[in-house]
Structure 1
Amino acid sequence: MSEDEETPEAEAAAPADPDRRDDGLDLAKALTRATAGSLPTARRRSRKPPPRTSGGRVSGSHPDDRDPQLLESTLGRLVGDHGWELDLRVHGVFGRWAELVGDEVAAHCTPESFADGKLVVRTDSTAWATQLRLLAPTVVRRLNEQLGHGTVALLEVLGPNLPSWKKGLRSVRDGRGPRDTYG
């Protein structure tokens, strides 16, 4: 090669204007032009599939598992992997209890637990416990519509927590407790 001929690298390295320094975008464009001339022409024009990386994953401009994921899809995958779907739906029903059973019923009873198809509900009076036992088939049907058929098999209704009259370690069987009088 003679001294009069310049290589693409030399053209990129030598600024067009002696007063101007290449930096930033100008430098990147010049380097791209210089390296583009050194690639084989067939490689630049061919439509080959993107190169594969280790593990068989495709490396390219299309999204894959290594890219940042949306929170919704990541949480959905986490819930599915651990089998938490039913638990989340049940606790969602606990949060929407008033919407499912109505405001008046929800004001007097609250769900306490759910296990093995049995939902335990506590009422604030014995009258509401009786009323909820009568409404049990309707409540179970509504819950199964929300959770999936057969999820709630039994609705156990408990009355209010009443105070215990038993005091101390010992007690008398069939005694009236503290209401007993000596006379």
Structure 2
Amino acid sequence: MTGDAEASLPLTVTTYVRLRGIPAPRARRRRRREPDDEHAPFAPGRDPRGLGDVVSALTREAGWDSQLAREDLMLQWNEVAGAQTAAHARPVALDAGVLTVQCDSTAWAKQLSLLRAEIVTRLARAHPDAGIEGIRFIGPDVPSWKWGTRTIPGRGPRDTYG
């Protein structure tokens, strides 16, 4: 056994190792690490960066770009669709690349569905990371007769509207 390895072990362990004939552990030498280029002082790339650059790098590395673009699209719907259109239609869902927009009336839904290609083009230009492939316009929510515990299948109360 080497002298410095024995000095680091307690006397009982050293005695046991000698009696059993187990080779003593060698003292490990610490390797000097070469200084990394990115941690070396005055190396290129060590200049301070702006907060916007740091946050954009973080979002890119975490894979949040598409989700943030979708949220940005929802918030900026007025600018993309126009003030008059935004007054009568609002985005309610974004699923599998299809944006669902709810309109005040079925007339607005029909008019906007005729302008679908233009609106999708505007959305793709304004928010390319959102991944909008299509858009769906729906009318207002209407009351449903299909609810409750005593509902039966069928056409419903059609004969009362006369």
Q: TM-score, length-normalised on structure 1?
A: 0.59
Are 1:72 and 2:52 matched, yes or no?
yes
Count of residue pairs brought into register by the alignment: 128
Are 1:138 and 2:138 matched, yes or no?
no
**Residue 143 of structure 2: aligned partner:** 163
**Residue 155 of structure 2: aligned partner:** 174
Structure 1 residue 72: Cα displacement? 1.0
Q: Which amino acid in the other structure matches residue 77 of structure 2? A: W
Q: 1:85 aligns with which of 30, 40, 65?
A: 65
Residues in 2 aligned to 1:60 and 1:174: alpha-carbon distance in whole angstroms: 78
Q: Which amino acid in the other structure matches residue 175 of structure 1? A: G
**Residue 107 of structure 2: aligned partner:** 127
Residues in 1 aligned to 2:114 and 2:129: alpha-carbon distance in whole angstroms: 21
Contact 1:86/1:147 (<8 A) preserved: no
Structure 1 residue 150: Cα displacement? 9.6
**Residue 131 of structure 2: aligned partner:** 151
Q: Which amino acid in the other structure matches residue 98 of structure 1? A: N
**C-alpha distance 61-54 of structure 1, shift in aligned 2 (>3 A):** closer
Q: Deviations over 1:3-50 (max 9, x none)?
A: xxxxxxxxxxxxxxxxxxxxxxxxxxxxxxxxxxxxxxxxxxxxxxxx
Residues in 1 aligned to 2:103 and 2:115: alpha-carbon distance in whole angstroms: 13
Structure 1 residue 73: Cα displacement? 1.8
Percent identical? 32
**Structure having the higher Rg:** 1
**Residue 88 of structure 2: aligned partner:** 108
Q: Which amino acid in the other structure matches residue 125 of structure 2? A: E
Q: TM-score, length-normalised on structure 2?
A: 0.65
Q: Secondary structure at the match of 2:115?
A: helix
The answer to which structure, 1 or 2, has the higher relative contact order (CA under 8 A, 6+ apart) is 2
Contact 2:90/2:103 (<8 A) preserved: yes
Q: Which amino acid in the other structure matches residue 174 of structure 1? A: R
Say what the alpha-carbon RMSD is for the aligned residues. Answer: 3.0
**C-alpha distance 149-93 of structure 1, shift in aligned 2 (>3 A):** closer
Q: Which amino acid in the other structure matches residue 103 of structure 1? A: A
